[in-house]
C-alpha cells in the first residue's frame, strides 16, 4: 500500500484519538457497578410505575426502530466503503 498524505493524516488522527481515549479512561473512573449493590431495590411490576414503564416501552417502539435504522444504515455504508472499487485495476 502506498503511503500518501491522506492515509498518513488518517493514521495520525487515529493514533491521536487512541491516545486520547486511553488517557481519558485512565484518568477518570467509571461507576459501572455502583448500582449493582444488594441494597438497591428494583421497581415492582405490580406498582403503578412498573406498569407505566412497561407501557412506555411497548407503545413507543418507534424510538427503537429509528435507532436500528441508523445502525443498519451505518453498517451498509461501511460495507460499501470497504468493498468499493478504486479506479481501473
Taking only the tens place, the pLDDT of each residue in 44-58 is: 656 677 777 777 777
Q: Which three cell numbers stand for residue 56?
A: 412506555
Domain assignment present for 56: yes
Kindly tell me if the per-residue pLDDT of 65 is higher than 80: no
Domain assignment present for 87: no
Position 19 scores a pLDDT of 94
Domain assignment present for 89: no
Note the pLDDT tens digit of each residue in 4-14.
Answer: 888 889 889 99
Position 36 scores a pLDDT of 57
Note the pLDDT tens digit of each residue in 67-76.
Answer: 888 999 999 9
Name the domain count of the chain.
1
Domain range for 68: 5-82
Global pTM? 0.36
Amino acid at each position: 500500500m502506498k503511503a500518501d498524505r491522506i492515509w498518513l493524516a488518517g493514521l495520525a488522527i487515529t493514533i491521536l484519538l487512541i491516545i486520547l481515549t486511553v488517557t481519558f479512561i485512565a484518568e477518570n473512573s467509571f461507576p459501572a457497578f455502583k448500582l449493582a449493590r444488594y441494597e438497591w431495590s428494583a421497581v415492582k411490576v405490580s406498582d403503578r410505575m412498573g406498569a407505566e414503564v412497561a407501557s412506555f416501552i411497548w407503545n413507543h417502539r418507534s424510538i427503537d426502530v429509528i435507532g436500528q435504522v441508523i445502525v443498519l444504515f451505518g453498517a451498509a455504508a461501511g460495507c460499501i466503503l470497504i468493498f468499493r472499487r478504486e479506479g481501473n485495476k
